[in-house]
């Protein structure tokens, strides 16, 4: 499981930093079928993550991306939708934000919850690129309900 997280970090940072090896990744299909993760259907080693672990990661991600009808893995957001990072990026004290994940499958819920935590962490660590440190609330309370 540790290599899945390491690979996820490699992919996220590679795409965010527009690294050359990730420049051809524009869609979920690209990520699942093209280098650097896959080459002609064969998993590739990425950083310190072995090819066998990359293959496992791709299989798990493919299962979530290709078989779910929840709509969280779409090629393009509709004009009425905003990304989670933008919705939570405007975090202000005294406001309540609700991210309803009740209709998602458990693995999708995990991904969305992880994205919420990552977004909040980036806001407070200054990694988000937004200059709003003085506007952030002193505390954030996250409730999980099922």
Tens digits of residue pLDDT in 18-28: 899 999 998 88
Q: Does residue 140 fall inside a structural domain?
A: no
What's the pLDDT tens digit per position in 58-91? 998 888 888 766 777 777 767 777 777 788 878 8
How many Å separate Cα 67 from the centre of its chain?
A: 18
Same domain, 45 and 97: no
pTM of the model as a whole: 0.67
pLDDT of residue 53: 93
Q: Find the domain containing 62 and state its range.
A: 2-67
- Between 106-125 and 51-67, two packed helices, what is the crossing angle to 10 degrees? 110
According to DSSP, the residues that pair with 93 across neighbouring strands are none
The answer as to whether 78 is a domain residue is no
Domain count, the chain: 2
Do residues 41 and 92 both lie within one domain? no
Same domain? For 91 and 127 the reply is yes
Average pLDDT, the chain: 84
What confidence score (pLDDT) does residue 3 get?
A: 58
């Amino acid at each position: 499981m540790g290599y899945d997280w390491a690979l996820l970090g490699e992919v996220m940072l590679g795409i965010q930093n527009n690294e050359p090896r990730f420049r051809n990744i524009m869609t979920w299909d690209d990520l699942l079928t093209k280098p650097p993760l896959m080459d002609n259907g064969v998993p590739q080693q990425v950083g310190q993550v072995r090819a066998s672990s990359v293959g496992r990661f791709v299989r798990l991600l493919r299962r979530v991306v290709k078989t779910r009808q929840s709509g969280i893995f779409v090629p393009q957001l509709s004009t009425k939708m905003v990304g989670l990072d933008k919705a939570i990026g405007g975090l202000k004290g005294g406001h309540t934000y609700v991210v309803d994940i009740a209709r998602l499958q458990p693995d999708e819920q995990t991904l969305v919850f992880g994205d919420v935590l990552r977004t909040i962490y980036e806001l407070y660590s200054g990694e988000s690129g937004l200059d709003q440190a003085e506007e952030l609330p002193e505390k954030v309370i996250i409730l999980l309900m099922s």
